[in-house]
Amino acid sequence: MELNNSKIKIKAKNLNVFYGKKQALFDINLDINQKEVTALIGPSGCGKSTFIRCINRMNDVIDICKVEGSVEIDGAEINEKNVDVVTLREKVGMVFQKPNPFPKSIYDNIAYGPIIHGAAENKDQMDNIVETSLKKAALWDEVKDRLNEPGTSLSGGQQQRLCIARALSVNPEVILMDEPCSALDPIATAKIEELIDDLKKSYTIVIVTHSMAQAVRVSQKTGFFHLGKIIEVDSTEKIFKNPANKMTQDYITGRFG
Amino acid sequence: MNSLIAGVILILCLSSYFFGRSEARKLVTQNIKLKALPAYYGYYLSLWCGLPALIIFGCWSLFEPTIIKVLILNNFPQIESKDLFYEQTLSFFNGNFSGEITNEIKAASIKYSSINIIAQNSKIVIIAAALIGSLTFAYRKIQKNNKARDDVEIILKILLFTSSLVAILTTVGIIVSLLFESIKFFSTINIFEFIFGTSWSPQRAFVRDASAITPEELLELQDAFGSVPLFAGTAFIALIAMCVAVPIGLFSGIYLAEYASTKARKYSKPIIEILAGIPTVVYGFFAALTVGPFFRTLGESLGLTVSSESALAAGLIMGVMIIPYISSLSDDVINSVPQSLREGSYAIGATKSETIKKVVIPAALPGIIGSILLAVSRAIGETMIVVMAAGLAANLTINPLESTTTITTQIVMILVGDQEFDSPKTQAAFALGLTLFIATLILNYIALRVVKKYREKYD
């Protein structure tokens, strides 16, 4: 593994997150490497999703949620007041657990982000963005003749790839994926995993997953969360072959969680 | 007397519940496996005790007066105005008759008294027989350990079915009566004159006896019932109302759903909904006594002539009344847009207002349109505010400062006071009612279709 010579893209330092009075994350320190897939595993409710929502400040949406500590992307702190959330989220895209295409046409689903950020000057440019985004998400061939049909008319797997294409449409540097395959069948899952493998050449990817097999298949680095704490972070190979921590060992072998 | 009978039946029902239950429990002590819980036998006995007796009692009370009336009037075939005669007899019998007492009235009254006694007695006998009969029948059934649970289910099902049948039949009855009166109206007045005529002056048709209208008069009447000014006035006031209610209602709905904190929402939503609870008559005199004069003074100071009963005042207040319909419904609709759509939008970097404008509102639009259409049909059917604040003159105008009138106002004006029910003027009210009914029905239908289509969107 080229773990040591990879450049660090995202650096979380002493990150604490509270929902009201309940603390969800405790002193998280985690480095995420550039153009690599980092998988976060751990039992439900352990704070994996909360953690990735800190990277694009999606926790701002939740009133009672309070984030303390530091998250740096390319060395720049994102938790400061004067950070523009819009620009941050343009840089850090997100794909959700359940496919959530807008109730608009396939074309408009992709065009949504570029329109908001003023990325296209004319129709041709927009057509171009839509086409490349769909191609990157390996969906173009399936939908190129039906771009005006509603995004919700696609199958679950296609919808999720549409959401990935939507995230790609604004040229992000980081893509956060919150259990992107949990609502999909094995064939659709295989397609998404293939896609993730392809995307890591150009993007930094953080993926939350409940499937150990998936973590092994797609990721280079794995972090194990338990009860809001990071128990162990290492190369995926090491975590699954020879974990340092007993709890990690128990979890990946299915003894708890 | 009647209340006594009803009371006895109800008490018997109640006690037969306990009786039936204890009988069933006795069977249990005899080691008989019951086919239902003891309480079901109680219900069973109680229903069997009450229902037949109550049905007989109800039917009897419903038909008794008519039957007695026919029986008595058969004895006096020579009387001409039979209804009046019978009314006089009744009031004489009750001791509050103040007219000239004829021999016929006296005779009829004696007859009435004797028939009445027979009727009362036979009613009691028949109901008692029904009570005893059905109780014994049900009691035997209990002893035979019948499936009381299933029987109770069936009886309850019939009961519920009857209730819904009553509601449906009432609606049908209203529609039919509207239809018949309207048909009568359209047999004297040309339907095209009614729909397309532009002059509304029904007081011209105020003749004592409709049968006395000569063909010449009828011809003259034809153009007295042009309903266009009324529809125009209704639509105009509804339009003003919607101009007030749609933006305010929609924006406050969006605020409540998207921006307000949980606490603010908890308090402000009920407060807005109180607006819907204010009786329309209160809005009416507020419009007529406060807002109308205010606009007139304001207009005068600006050099405008404003009628003290203006479409503007009525429409404005009606709009205020409708705000909660739109705000509350659109708040619900916006809330039901899945949170995942909002997050999807935020995650690409959209701001809150961009998300609302481009994702939430489009997704909620069918529901919002549905709520607006429901509000429109409410505005069209609203009566009290326009009666008090909009005026009576059927002006065909688009000046909101002039007084105008609506369909509902005219129906009220036509039917207030003593009316001949066969004059075209009165029948015009039914024709107006029918058209109004059809208009709101179509609007409601469209609204429901739109809302239904919306429901299918996410599921």
What pLDDT, in 10s, does the model give residues B16-55?
Answer: 899 888 888 888 888 778 777 888 888 888 888 888 888 8
H/E segment holding residue A168: helix A156-168
Residue B364: is its pLDDT beyond 70? yes
Task: Name the fold adopted by B228-455.
Answer: MetI-like fold (1.10.3720)
State the nearest Cα–Cα gap between A86 and chain B, in angstroms.
4
State the nearest Cα–Cα gap between B245 and chain A, in angstroms.
27
A86 to B351: CB separation less than 8 angstroms, yes or no: yes
State the nearest Cα–Cα gap between A242 and chain B, in angstroms.
36
What pLDDT is recorded for position A3? Answer: 47
Contacts of A110 in chain B (CB under 8 A): none
Terminus-to-terminus CA distance in chain A, angstroms? Answer: 28
Supply φ then ψ for residue B193, to 5 degrees.
-60, -40
Sequence-separated (6 or more) residues with CB below 8 Å from residue A196: A37, A177, A205, A207, A218
pLDDT band at A55 (very low <50, low <70, confident <90, very high): very high
Of B346, B347, B363, Cβ closest to residue A103: B363
pLDDT band at B228 (very low <50, low <70, confident <90, very high): confident
pLDDT average, residue stretch B82-102: 80
A102 to chain B: closest CA residue? B341
Alpha carbon distances (Å) from B259 to A127, B32, B331, B334, B342 = 35, 65, 11, 12, 13
**Coil, strand or helix: which one is A71?**
strand
The reply to whether A171 touches chain B by the CB within 8 Å rule is no
Residue B456: is its pLDDT beyond 60? no
The reply to whether A183 touches chain B by the CB within 8 Å rule is no
What pLDDT is recorded for position B374? Answer: 85
pLDDT average, residue stretch B282-294: 89
B349 to A98: CB separation less than 8 angstroms, yes or no: no
pLDDT average, residue stretch B318-327: 92
pLDDT average, residue stretch A75-89: 91
Alpha carbon distances (Å) from B74 to B69, B78, B111, B453 = 8, 9, 11, 61
CA-wise closest residue to B152 among B33, B39, B43? B43
What pLDDT, in 10s, does the model give residues A192-228?
Answer: 999 999 999 999 999 999 999 999 999 999 999 999 9
Which residue is associated with the tokens 């639509």?
B235
CA-wise closest residue to B261 among A58, A64, A65? A64
Contacts of A170 in chain B (CB under 8 A): 348-349
B347 to A56: CB separation less than 8 angstroms, yes or no: yes
Are the beta carbons of A129 and A66 closer than 8 angstroms?
no
H/E segment holding residue A40: strand A37-41
Contacts of B349 in chain A (CB under 8 A): 85-90, 113, 116-117, 170
Q: Report which residue type is found at B226.
A: G
Alpha carbon distances (Å) from B448 to B97, B372, B373 = 55, 11, 9
A100 to B351: CB separation less than 8 angstroms, yes or no: no
Q: Which residues pair with A31 in a beta bridge?
A: A11
Alpha-carbon torsion A151, A156, A158, A164, what sign?
positive
What pLDDT, in 10s, does the model give residues B404-420?
Answer: 888 888 888 888 877 66
Sequence-separated (6 or more) residues with CB below 8 Å from residue A70: A11, A12, A13, A14, A15, A77, A79
Complete DSSP assignment for A211-233: -HHHHHHH-SEEEEEETTEEEEE
What's the rounded Cα separation, in Å, for the pair A170 and B121? 90
Greater pLDDT, B171 or B424: B171
What pLDDT is recorded for position B397? Answer: 78
Q: What secondary structure letter does DSSP report for A150?
A: B
In chain B, where are the structural domains located?
2-146, 228-455
State the nearest Cα–Cα gap between A7 and chain B, in angstroms.
25
Alpha carbon distances (Å) from B94 to B98, B103, B109, B121, B155 = 11, 17, 9, 19, 41
pLDDT average, residue stretch A77-93: 91
Residue B211: is its pLDDT beyond 70? no
What pLDDT, in 10s, does the model give residues A103-159?
Answer: 889 999 999 999 999 888 899 999 999 999 999 898 999 999 999 998 888 998 999
B362 to A163: CB separation less than 8 angstroms, yes or no: no
Greater pLDDT, B158 or B456: B158
Contacts of B362 in chain A (CB under 8 A): 102-104
What pLDDT is recorded for position B210? Answer: 54
Percent of chain B whose predicted confidence (pLDDT) is above 90: 19
Residue B459: is its pLDDT beyond 50? no
What pLDDT is recorded for position A257? Answer: 53
pLDDT average, residue stretch B319-344: 91
The reply to whether B459 touches chain A by the CB within 8 Å rule is no
Of A96, A103, A152, Cβ closest to residue B343: A96
Angle between helix B148-188 and B424-455 (nearest 10): 130
> Of A21-25, B23-27, B93-97, B270-274, which range is least confident?
B93-97
pLDDT average, residue stretch B381-403: 83
State the nearest Cα–Cα gap between A101 and chain B, in angstroms.
7
Q: What secondary structure letter does DSSP report for A3?
A: T
What pLDDT is recorded for position B229? Answer: 87
The reply to whether A62 touches chain B by the CB within 8 Å rule is no
pLDDT average, residue stretch B49-69: 88
Q: Could you tell me the domains of chain A?
A: 8-252 (3.40.50.300)
Greater pLDDT, A170 or B151: A170
> Of A89-98, A229-238, B35-44, which range is least confident?
B35-44
Instruction: With 0.90 as the threshold, say if the pTM is over it.
Output: no
Longest dimension (CA), chain B: 96
Are the beta carbons of B369 and B450 closer than 8 angstroms?
yes
What's the rounded Cα separation, in Å, for the pair B424 and B224? 10
CA-wise closest residue to A146 among A157, A130, A163, A123? A130
Are the beta carbons of A129 and B388 closer than 8 angstroms?
no
> Of B207-216, B425-434, B435-444, which range is least confident?
B207-216
